[in-house]
Amino acid sequence: MSAVFWFRRDLRLKDNEALTAAFAASDATGNNGVLALYMFNNAEYLQLEGIRQHSLTESLRSLSQDLSSKLHIIDVDSTEQFANGLVEACLAIGTKQVFATESFDPKGMAEQVLVARFLESKGISLHLVGSNYAVRPGTVRKPDGANYRVYTPFYKAWVHLADVLPKQLPKNPTWLEVDKNKVVPSPTKDSPIKVKAGEAFALRTFQRFQKRALDEYDQMRNRADLSGTSHLSHALAHGEIHPRTLLAQLGDSSGHEVFRKEIAWREFYADVLFHYPHTVDDYYEPRFKKLRYDTGAAAEKKFEAWCKGETGFPMVDAGMRQLLQEGWMHNRVRMIAASFLVKDLHLEWTLGAEHFEKHLSDFDPASNSHGWQWTAGCGTDASPYYRIFNPILQGLKFDPNGDYVRKYVPELRHLEGSAAHEPWEVFDGYSDGYPVQIVDHTTERNESLARLEEVKVS
C-alpha cells in the first residue's frame, strides 16, 4: 500500500526519519510510492512579516523542486480544513496510512492530536515518527526520572543519547501525484533581502562553515564583526537539515565540542518547553511575574526606539537594525539587545520575544522563549537576574574595531575603530544624526537590582 507523508517543520528529503519510515511501509506492501503533502495555512501566513513569508516560500519552493514539482500543497485556513484535505488525499491514492515527524512544541502537539483524531474517525492511521532533534524531547532524565532544569547536567546526559546516524531514503524513491496540485503560494509582502533557503543551500552552508570557522568556533562565535557562526539557524528552524547530519561530522576538538554544545542548547530548550508548555509565552520562574516593569506612554516610546534601533547604544542599535534588514541577528547581540530591553528599559521580556517572533526568519518557539527568559533572568539560568550586560563594554569586546556597528548604523560610519561604540567621546560623534542615549546604563542597572530586591522581599 502507498503512503502519505505530511511535511511539517522538516522540509528536506535527506536524513528524514519519518519519511524513511513512510517509504519502508510502502515498500513492505508493494512499493507503491509516497505522496508528499504540505499544509499551507493562509490565515497564519498572511500575518507573517515579509521576511518570514519569503523564508517559508523559498524553503517550500526548494523542496518542491527536489520533488520534481510533486509536492501536493493543501491550501487552508485552519487545521480542521487540512484534516479534511488529508483524508481526500488518502482516498485519492488508496491508502490508510499517513506519516509525519512528531512535534513537541504546544502548537505542533495540539495540531497533531487534532489531525490524528480526525483521521482515526475515517479509519486512517497517523504515524508520528522521529523528531527534529538528535534526542527526542522528554528523553533525557535524571537518575530519579525527573527532567533536568539546568543545562550543564542536561548536556552531560544528552551527549551520550544523541543520535548521530543519518537516516537514508531508497535510492530511487517513487513520488506519487494527485489532481489539484498547487504551486507554492507567493508572498504578499516585500522582504528587505533576497532569501536563500532549502535543503541544498543548508548543506552547502554547513560545508562552508566547516571550512571557514568550525575549527575555531570556540574562539570566533561571539565576535559579531566576524563570520564565526554557522548561519544554520534558519535551516534548523525549517527542518532543512537535521542535527544528526551536523553531529555525524563533528570531532573532539574544542571548536567542534563547543558547536556540539550549541546544538544541545537548542535541544535543552525544546526539552524544557516540552515539560513546561506554558513557558512558550509565560514565566518559567513564576516569582518574576511580580517584578515591576514600566508601562505607559514613556515606556512605549522607549520600546519603539529599541525596535527601530534608535536607543543611542551602538551595539544594541546595530543588532536591532540587522534584525529588520536581514531577519537575523548575531546570537551574542541578541543577548545584549535582550538584556538592554529588560534591565535598562525595564520592559517585560514578552514584548521582546513577540518582536523577535515577528521578524526572525529562524524563529523557533522553544529557543525564542527560553533564550529571552534566560537573559531576562526568569529562565533556566542558575544565578540569573544579576547578569546585566553593559552594552558599551560588550560592544568593545565583541566588535573591537567597530566594524559590526558601522555596517548597520550608517550615522556612525564616519568614526574610526572603536570610537563607533562611544560617539559621545568624539567631538563629531553625533554629526550624522545618531540619537543620544535614551537612558543612563549605570542608573538603570542599579534600578534593576533594586526591583529585584522587591521581588525577593515579597
- Each residue of 281-292: pLDDT tens digit? 999 999 899 999
Pair 267, 234 in one domain: yes
Q: What is the dihedral of CA 233, 236, 241, 243, to 10 degrees?
A: 100
Pair 439, 308 in one domain: yes
Position 171 scores a pLDDT of 87
Phi and psi angles of residue 38, each rounded to the nearest 5 degrees, phi first: -140, 140
Pair 306, 203 in one domain: no
* Residues 249-270 pLDDT 10s: 999 999 999 999 999 999 999 9
| Angle between helix 331-339 and 365-376 (nearest 10) | 50
Q: What is the CATH number of the domain that holds 88?
A: 3.40.50.620
Half-sphere exposure of 276 (CA within 13 A, CB side): 20
* Residues 396-430 pLDDT 10s: 999 999 999 999 999 999 999 999 999 999 999 99
Give domain status of residue 176, yes or no.
no
Distance CA 339, CA 373 (A): 10
Distance CA 132, CA 314 (A): 36
Q: What is the CATH number of the domain that holds 424?
A: 1.10.579.10
Please report which residue ranges of 36-141 form alpha helices under DSSP H.
Answer: 42-47, 50-66, 79-93, 106-121
N residues, the chain: 458
* Residues 332-348 pLDDT 10s: 999 999 999 999 999 99
Position 183 scores a pLDDT of 81
pLDDT band for position 66 (50/70/90)?
Answer: very high
Q: Enter the DSSP assignment of 175.
A: B
Q: Which residue has the cell 574595531?
A: 401
Q: At which of 275, 306, 330 does a domain end? A: 275
DSSP string, 93-112: HT--EEEEEPP-SHHHHHHH
Residue numbers of the domain that contains 85: 3-130
Give domain status of residue 174, yes or no.
no
- What average pLDDT does the segment 235-247 reach? 98
Pair 63, 159 in one domain: no
Give domain status of residue 266, yes or no.
yes
Q: What is the CATH number of the domain that holds 208?
A: 1.25.40.80
Q: Which residue has the cell 475515517?
A: 122
Mean pLDDT of the chain: 95
Q: At which of 130, 150, 181 does a domain end? A: 130
Q: How is residue 337 written as a grid cell?
A: 539587545
Pair 308, 346 in one domain: yes
Q: At which of 231, 248, 275 does a domain end? A: 275
Compute CA distances 435 → 262, 312, 429, 446, whole Å: 35, 5, 10, 23
Q: How is residue 42 written as a grid cell?
A: 493562509
Position 38 scores a pLDDT of 96
* Residues 99-122 pLDDT 10s: 999 999 999 999 999 999 999 999
Query: Residue 445 CB: number of other CB atoms within 10 A?
Result: 16
Pair 119, 59 in one domain: yes
pLDDT band for position 456 (50/70/90)?
Answer: confident
The CA R_g of the chain, rounded to the nearest whole Å, is: 23
Give domain status of residue 92, yes or no.
yes
Q: Which residues have a Cβ under 8 Å from the Cβ of 407 and sit 6 or more positions away?
A: 318
Distance CA 134, CA 117 (A): 28
* Residues 366-384 pLDDT 10s: 999 999 999 998 998 765 6
- Give percent of the chain above pLDDT 90: 92
Pair 264, 229 in one domain: yes
- What average pLDDT does the segment 157-183 reach? 89
Pair 252, 373 in one domain: no
Pair 345, 447 in one domain: yes
Say yes or no to pLDDT of 92 above 90.
Answer: yes
* Residue 217 CB burial class (10 angstroms; 0-12, 13-18, ≥19): buried
Give domain status of residue 206, yes or no.
yes
Q: How is residue 417 written as a grid cell?
A: 575603530
Give domain status of residue 74, yes or no.
yes
Buried b (16+ CB within 10 A) or exposed e, 391-430: bbebbbebbeebebbbbbbebbebbeeebbbebeeeeebe
Say how far residue 386 (Cα) sits from the centre of its chain: 26
Q: Which residue has the cell 538592554?
A: 340
Considering all CA atoms of the chain, what is the largest pairwise distance in Å, rounded to the nearest integer?
78
Give domain status of residue 185, yes or no.
no
The total number of structural domains in the chain stands at 3
- What average pLDDT does the segment 177-206 reach? 91
Pair 36, 125 in one domain: yes
- What average pLDDT does the segment 3-28 reach? 94
Closest CA to 226 of 338, 331, 360, 327: 331
Distance CA 202, CA 216 (A): 20
Distance CA 163, CA 308 (A): 41
* Residue 47 CB burial class (10 angstroms; 0-12, 13-18, ≥19): exposed
pLDDT band for position 172 (50/70/90)?
Answer: confident
Give domain status of residue 325, yes or no.
yes
Q: How is residue 14 written as a grid cell?
A: 535527506
Pair 115, 264 in one domain: no
Pair 311, 429 in one domain: yes
Distance CA 382, CA 374 (A): 9
Name residue 201's amino acid: F
